[in-house]
Amino acid sequence: MVDHLREYYKIGDERVLEAVNRVPRHLFVPDALRSQAYKDNALPIAARQTISQPFIVARMTELLQLKGHERVLEIGGGSGYQAAVLSALTRRVYTIERLPTLAAELKEKVVRLGLRNVSVRCDDGTNGWPIYSPFDAILVAAGGPEIPQPLADQLEIGGRLVVPVGHTQTSQMLVRITRTADGFIEEECGACVFVPLIGQHGWKADGADSKN
């Protein structure tokens, strides 16, 4: 899988490739899909959500430019796979998952796998996690209609926010925001497809969204 990420997708950050190589993805996918854990696909997890495709995990992580000392916020903890990759690469990871069943499973998994530098919270992550802010890096693993302003505001000067943004719920552009002393720099980093970011600064929940 790592050779594919390096050669086909041109992921160049060796620390990211090493972290992806080290994190056992099969521990984050449902038992019935374990044989597919090392294929380059997103896969369904509980509550109609997905574990992200390895390429997009590697790409977003690379865009955060982590050196090892950072405090990172993730929105959309889901299966915990992205959080585990971040955990291997940096000092401290805070992850927020809005669905209580997924958040409870994630808390249990973090303890079971001994990911001691990962904290999990069940909430609407579009408001960030103010008491631990500012963050050196923020990664949003679900697609919203716009950049959630509270997340940009919770970046350290020099900090990076990577977020999928799209006018429809079915496709997005990966955007990187870098906070500077006098504002924000915005870069477009390629098309992507994520499950919807639902919350105060995301899409409104619809009737089919059971919040469980």
| Residues acting as catalytic residues | 52
Please state whether the peptide bond connecting residue 24 to the residue before it is cis, i.e. omega within 30 degrees of 0: no
Report the residue number, 56 or 177, with the smaller CB distance to ligand SAH: 56
CB of 127 to ligand SAH, least distance (A): 8
Residues in the chain, total: 212
Report the residue number, 29 or 177, with the smaller CB distance to ligand SAH: 29
- Binders of ligand SAH among residues 43 to 62 (CB under 6 A) are 49-52
Q: Which of 107, 109, 137 is nearest to 122 (CA)?
A: 107
Among 25, 59, 92, 98, binds ligand SAH (CB under 6 A): 98
174 belongs to the binding site for ligand SAH (CB under 6 A):
no
The count of residues interacting with ligand SAH (CB under 6 A) is 26
Please state, in angstroms and as integers, the Cα–Cα distance from residue 76 to each residue in 83, 84, 177, 181, 197, following that order: 9, 13, 18, 28, 8
Please say whether the beta carbons of 111 and 86 come within 8 A: no
Binding interface with ligand SAH (CB under 6 A): 49-52, 75-79, 81-82, 96-99, 102, 124-126, 141-142, 195, 197-199, 202
